[in-house]
Amino acid sequence: MRWSAIHQFVPSFARGDAIGNHVAFIKDHLRSQGCDSEIFVGTNNDETSAETIDLQNIDRYVRPGADTLFLYHVAQASPCAQVLLERTEPLALVFHNFTPPEVLLRWDPSVAFELLRAQDQLADLVERSSFAICDSNFNAQVLSQFGDIDSFVIPLPVDAPAGFESSSGPAPTVLFVGRVAPNKGIHDLITAIAVLKQRIPEVKLRIVGASTSDRYDQAIEGLIRNLALSEAITMTGWVDDEQLEREYRQASVFCTLSDHEGFGVPLVEAMARGIPLVSYATTAVGETVGEAGLVLASKTPTVVAGALERVLTDDLLAERLCASGRQRSSTFSSEKIATALNQTLLGHPSS
C-alpha cells in the first residue's frame, strides 16, 4: 500500500543529534516522494518549533480514515508512546535502542528508571506496531526481545562532506565525538592516553560532545586532573557543525571505547572523512565499522595505547585505514538509505 501520509513522532527534536538528523532526513525524503510528512513532538524545542507540531495538536493534522502511517522513533520514554498506543492509525517503529539502565544506575538513577519505563512502553508499542526499522542488526536483535515484530535494518544516513581536507597539526591528536556519558567509555580512553603519553609525550586527546551526566562529568574531570593530563586532554562540550568539522580536520586518529552503541554515527563520520579508526568491539560497533578499522577485543589501557601508537606511527597502516574507512562509509550514503526507505516505507504492504 502506498501511504498518502507518513508522520513521525519523536520525544523531542533537535538538529545536530543523530536521531534529529535522521528524522529530518526521513521527512525531507518522504516529501520529495510526494508523501505528506510532519514531525510531531512530545516536548517542544524552541530552536526547532517551526519544524515540528505539538503532539497535542495531532487531530488538526491527521484526517481519520486517511492512508496514514505513524512512525515512532524509540530512544527514551515519552508521552508520545501513550498517545500512539491509544490511536488507531497503523504504527511502525524506528528503533534506535536505549542505553542499558544498569550502566547508568550508579551515576544517574533517575535516568536509569526512565529507561526502565521506556522499556515498558516499548513492549506495548511492539505489540501495537506493524513493523520496525532498526539502525543495525544488533538493534533488531534487541528489539526482538520485546516481542515478535518484522524488522528491517536500515542504517542512519551519513554522507562524506565535499572537499574535506585533513589539516592535523604537529601534535598527534586522538579524537572522540559523542555524548560524555558513562556508557561511552571515556574514562577508558583517558587511561589509555595516560599510557600512550609514556610513548608519545606530545599526544593530545579531544573529547567533543555534550555531557549528559553531571556526576560522570565530574568524575572525568577529576580523573584527568589526578592523572595530570589537563594539558593533554580537552573536553570541548557541545559544538556546532562548523566546529565539529574543524575537530575532524585536526584529528590524526578517531577512537571510541564505548560499551554500548546502537549504530555509531560518529564512527561513520570519521570513516567518511578518511580518519583512521580505533574502536572497541561491542554491540553494533563491529557491524558499523565492518572491516575498515582496528576493532579491539579488549580495551585494556595498554592495548588501546598500543593501537593508537601504531596508527600514529605507521603511515602505511594509517593510509590503508583511511582508504578502507572511506569505502566502508559509502555504504551509509543518503542515496542508498533513501532507496532502502523507499522499499520499506513506500513499497511496504499494508498490515
Partner 1 sequence: MSDSESDANYFKEVVAEIEAEAQRRSSSGEYPRALLRSLDEEFRRWIPDASLENGVEDTIRSIESAAYVDPAVPINSKSPLGRCVKWTVRRLTYFYHRHVTQQITALGIHITRPLRLLDASLKSVNKRLAALEDRLDVDVSTRSELLSGITIPTSFEDFDGVLSQHFKQVSGRVLIGDLPNSRLLKNLRDGGVDAYGVTSSDAPTQEAVDVRHEHLFDHLGDLHNESLGGFILCGIPDQASINEQLRALRLLLLRSKPGAAVAVIVIHSETWTKRLSPVATDLLHGRPMHEETWSYLLNREGASNIRVVQSSDSSYCLITAIL
Alpha helices by DSSP H, the chain: 18-32, 58-61, 79-86, 101-104, 109-128, 137-144, 186-199, 214-226, 241-250, 265-272, 285-289, 301-313, 315-329, 334-341
Nearest residue (CB) to partner 1, 66 versus 323 = 323
Distance CA 38, CA 31 (A): 9
The single residue among 6, 133, 232, 305 that binds partner 1, judged by CB under 8 A, is: 305
Q: How near is the Cβ of 191 to partner 1 at its closest, in Å?
A: 4
Nearest residue (CB) to partner 1, 151 versus 288 = 288
Distance CA 246, CA 165 (A): 10
Distance CA 280, CA 296 (A): 5
What is the number of residues in the chain? 351
The single residue among 32, 230, 302, 339 that binds partner 1, judged by CB under 8 A, is: 302
Q: How near is the Cβ of 198 to partner 1 at its closest, in Å?
A: 6
Question: Which three-class secondary structure state does DSSP give residue 263?
Answer: coil
- Residue 117 makes contact with partner 1 by CB under 8 A: no
The single residue among 161, 222, 237, 347 that binds partner 1, judged by CB under 8 A, is: 222
User: Between 310 and 339, how does the x/- string for binding to partner 1 read (CB under 8 A)?
Assistant: x------x--xx-xx--x------------
The answer to whether residues 58 and 40 touch, using CB atoms and an 8 Å cutoff, is yes
The answer to whether residues 308 and 278 touch, using CB atoms and an 8 Å cutoff, is yes
- Residue 219 makes contact with partner 1 by CB under 8 A: yes
Number of residues that bind partner 1 (CB under 8 A): 41
- Residue 285 makes contact with partner 1 by CB under 8 A: no
Distance CA 138, CA 284 (A): 5
Nearest residue (CB) to partner 1, 5 versus 305 = 305
Q: What would the grid cell of residue 213 be?
A: 551526566
Part in contact with partner 1 (CB under 8 A); list of ranges 104-112, 129-137, 244-252, 261-269:
104-112
Distance CA 237, CA 59 (A): 39
- Residue 111 makes contact with partner 1 by CB under 8 A: no
- Residue 307 makes contact with partner 1 by CB under 8 A: yes
Distance CA 39, CA 55 (A): 9
Part in contact with partner 1 (CB under 8 A); list of ranges 9-17, 34-42, 231-239, 291-299:
291-299
Distance CA 70, CA 227 (A): 50
Nearest residue (CB) to partner 1, 231 versus 291 = 291
DSSP for 140-160, please give it.
Answer: HHHHHTT---EEEE-PPP-PP
- Residue 107 makes contact with partner 1 by CB under 8 A: yes
User: Between 235 and 274, how does the x/- string for binding to partner 1 read (CB under 8 A)?
Assistant: ----------------------------------------
User: Between 40 and 79, how does the x/- string for binding to partner 1 read (CB under 8 A)?
Assistant: ----------------------------------------
Residue 131, Cα to own-chain centre: how many angstroms? Answer: 21
Q: Which residues bind to partner 1, rule: CB under 8 A?
A: 86, 106-107, 109, 187, 191, 194-195, 198, 214-215, 218-219, 221-223, 225-227, 291-298, 300-303, 305-307, 310, 317, 320-321, 323-324, 327
